[in-house]
Structure 1
């Protein structure tokens, strides 16, 4: 599990410098990518380090942005890989059938017959639908379960579990 507080949601990441004047490459994980700026200042994984940012323009794969006190290419490069978090209470409420990835990670996954299939380690997206990355006893390798209504009919956050009806061949 992560050391990040449950009160923080990862909304983006820094991918290094953009140009030579201290701008950073910003990758947004928000549904509306440009809204990441609305949550500034953002926090680092420690919940203490603050990143006040302003998007300067859209670029391939994200945005170019300025961060307060980052003025050189070297300073921007040093931030490569930093994940950016926003406090949960600053994010919009979601409809009943939508979830923040952070809320799914760690949930146990059962099949419709009640057999434990594994636990959600991560949520991946390779361009189509989200995939739940499952790990657990009896699994010799990572299993990627499509996060669709057909394959995952029930997500019960209060009980900390997911009921899945995996497509044939997934397990």
Structure 2
């Protein structure tokens, strides 16, 4: 199995039987020559909308202008399934700032060093691009690039129940952590503090094949080789 963020795109991948190396979480977007035209949308311009799509996922933020012709520079999120591949594959971005939401058709987009640069419809000069600094970027989950059968985006693992092979519930995934070698599931579960009051416990389980046995997205469950008292 392997996990990807969507900037390296947050995939996760594990082997169901033999232990495997999942590889490092990719902080930088995959180097692809991803330039595309948003067919039928290029002339629409950026327009205010009332709401986000139901499957919208925040993947980055506009941090600066790029060049003189209206391109913007985007910092892709490097955590829990958000970032580059989704940014370069989506033909429309949703820009969010406070309560304002805008639909922004993408004319062209590409990877540039450790960021994403893009030309949005109707943004024709540097001043217009600078005016978009600080807007957060969301894309539809359905616009994320498709993955292999044994790959998962981090965003799809959040909320899944985690049980061990004995059927003991260990909690639910609330986040994933990149430790430089592989991803780690951060799991929370109901517990009790020293004062006897309800508290939240935490488990950290490496997302590697030796521990993670199956990921069943349909059943919203991850089965692990991990004891409750670890």
TM-score, normalisation: structure 2:
0.54
Give the aligned partner of residue 89 of structure 2: 38
Contact 1:24 1:76 in 2 (8 A): no
Give the aligned partner of residue 24 of structure 1: 73
Give the aligned partner of residue 203 of structure 2: 143
Matches within 5 A, 1:87-166: 87-88=141-142, 90-138=143-191, 140-166=200-226
Q: Per-residue CA shift, 1:65-105, capped at 9, x if unaligned?
A: 333455142x23221xx2422241x4444322111222211
Any stretches of 5+ residues in structure 2 without a counterpart?
1-51, 192-198
Higher relative contact order, structure no. (Cα contacts within 8 Å, ≥ 6 residues apart): 2
Contact 1:28 1:34 in 2 (8 A): no
- Greater radius of gyration (CA): 2
Deviating above 6 A after TM superposition, structure 1's stretches of 4 or more consecutive aligned residues are: 28-32
Q: Secondary structure of the residue that 1:102 maps to in structure 2?
A: helix
1:14 aligns with 2:61: yes
Aligned residue pairs total 160
- Supply the distance in 1 between the matched residues of 2:110 and 2:151 (Cα, whole angstroms): 30
- Supply the distance in 2 between the matched residues of 1:129 and 1:97 (Cα, whole angstroms): 16
Cα offset, 1:142, TM superposition: 3.7
Q: Secondary structure of the residue that 2:212 maps to in structure 1?
A: coil
- Supply the distance in 2 between the matched residues of 1:92 and 1:37 (Cα, whole angstroms): 9
Q: Secondary structure of the residue that 1:136 maps to in structure 2?
A: strand
Give the aligned partner of residue 49 of structure 1: 102
- Supply the distance in 1 between the matched residues of 2:67 and 2:61 (Cα, whole angstroms): 16
Cα offset, 1:163, TM superposition: 0.7
Contact 2:111 2:117 in 1 (8 A): yes
1:86 aligns with 2:107: no
- Supply the distance in 2 between the matched residues of 1:57 and 1:99 (Cα, whole angstroms): 22
Any stretches of 5+ residues in structure 1 without a counterpart?
none
Cα offset, 1:25, TM superposition: 2.5
